[in-house]
Amino acid sequence: MKITGYRELFTQHEWHRPVGDVNGVSVGTRTDVHVLILTTDEGYEGISIGPSSRGDLARVFPAIEGEDPRSVTALYDRMLAYVFKTGHTGSVFASIGAIDDALWDLKAKMAGEPLWRMLGGRTRFVPGYASGLEFGLADEEVHALYQRFADAGFAQAKLKGGRNVDDDVRRLRLVRDVLTANSAQPAMMFDANESWHRSQAVRHIQRIEAEVDLTWIEEPVRRWDAHGLAEVRRSVKTGVATGENLTGLEQYRPLFDADAVDVVQFNSGWGTTNALRVAVVAHAHDLPVSPIGFTPIIAHAASTMPNHLTTEVQDLGQPIGVHIDQEIADGGIVLGNAPGAGITIDEALIEQLPVGQGWATPAGPHVRPERAGLRMVPGDPGDTTWLGA
């Protein structure tokens, strides 16, 4: 059997709300979703879905063209080696991850088994936490959103924030109160999305900790600042979680060397092989792992990890024209028994979709507010609330 080609589709996910974080909020309520279909000379096809990734597949695909698709982990390393000189970071790593997921789907289909079973999983249930990307919503909308998560059995939740501590505390309490329907002590997480420097992080977290019991603080400083993450970790009570934006196993080494992390994260879009390898390295350091992002294939890998803690669940729905054989229930993901990753697609429907607006706000911790279409709101000294201009 040989890999013969691929085709790409771009569908959309309808969130029914703007989504985003302190660095920017989507325009509209739909974002692009990339669909990759690998083809073989024997008619088998492997499918992966994930964040939009245009342009880099053509650069990576020659590394696997004509190869036997069953050699999944060897092909993953072959792709990394193929782009070694010019680097595998950013969207290139996302393309490698998309191909990797499609290969795992293909291999499990050929074996006639669900991917979680082929990878060695014992149970179909993967515990999760609610993460609504709700930064752009008003309080009443946040309440309604997390009520839907609570109705699906969730007792763990993560909120976005980092600009105004009073707003952050109020919203954390709001969501905590909603989730008490399922637990007397819901697990509450908070994500600053790399928007602070070290002293800001410590000050902001300590003020939150005085009011709310946090399970972890996520990405309090830049992803590469291992010493800063270690300093934050020593200065606060809550655990420090990070890793979702690291593109390569080698990038975790400074975090471990600096004793800078309590919960090791990896981006779901970086592929199954990367996830399995990060989990093994974290396990060797007696640390738990938690996948980040909206890529449902990763739940299959999570089911096999002895140090898996909880998986991010960003929405209760599925992308347009995509059916995934899994259910969001009982506070987690219930994997199905369909062969492979359980993904089927309606290509005709997807091809009729207009181009989505996607993540159109050009913001980030290095972007000045006025360039991101934002203005400062006068208030108390140190108040850094941002609103749309």
Looking at every residue in the chain, the average pLDDT score rounds to 91
Q: Taking 60 as the threshold, does the pLDDT of residue 385 lie above it?
A: no
Q: Measured between alpha carbons, how far is 204 from 206 in angstroms, rounded to an integer?
A: 6
Q: What pLDDT, in 10s, does the model give residues 288-322? A: 999 999 888 999 999 999 999 999 999 999 999 99
Q: What is the pLDDT of residues 152-171, one digit of tens each?
A: 999 999 999 999 999 999 99
pLDDT at 378: 37
98-142 residue pLDDT tens: 999 999 999 999 999 999 999 999 999 999 999 999 999 999 999
H helices of the chain, where? 57-60, 72-82, 91-111, 115-118, 139-151, 165-179, 198-209, 226-235, 253-257, 272-284, 298-302, 347-351
pLDDT value at residue 85 = 84
pLDDT attached to residue 377: 39
Q: CB-based contacts of 388: which residues, under 8 Å, 6+ apart?
A: 373, 374
Q: Which pTM value belongs to this model?
A: 0.91
What SS3 class is residue 377?
coil
Report how far apart, in Å, the C-alpha atoms of 180 and of each of 18, 66, 140, 153, 157 are.
26, 54, 17, 11, 11
Q: What does the pLDDT look like over 244-253, one tens digit per residue?
A: 999 999 999 9
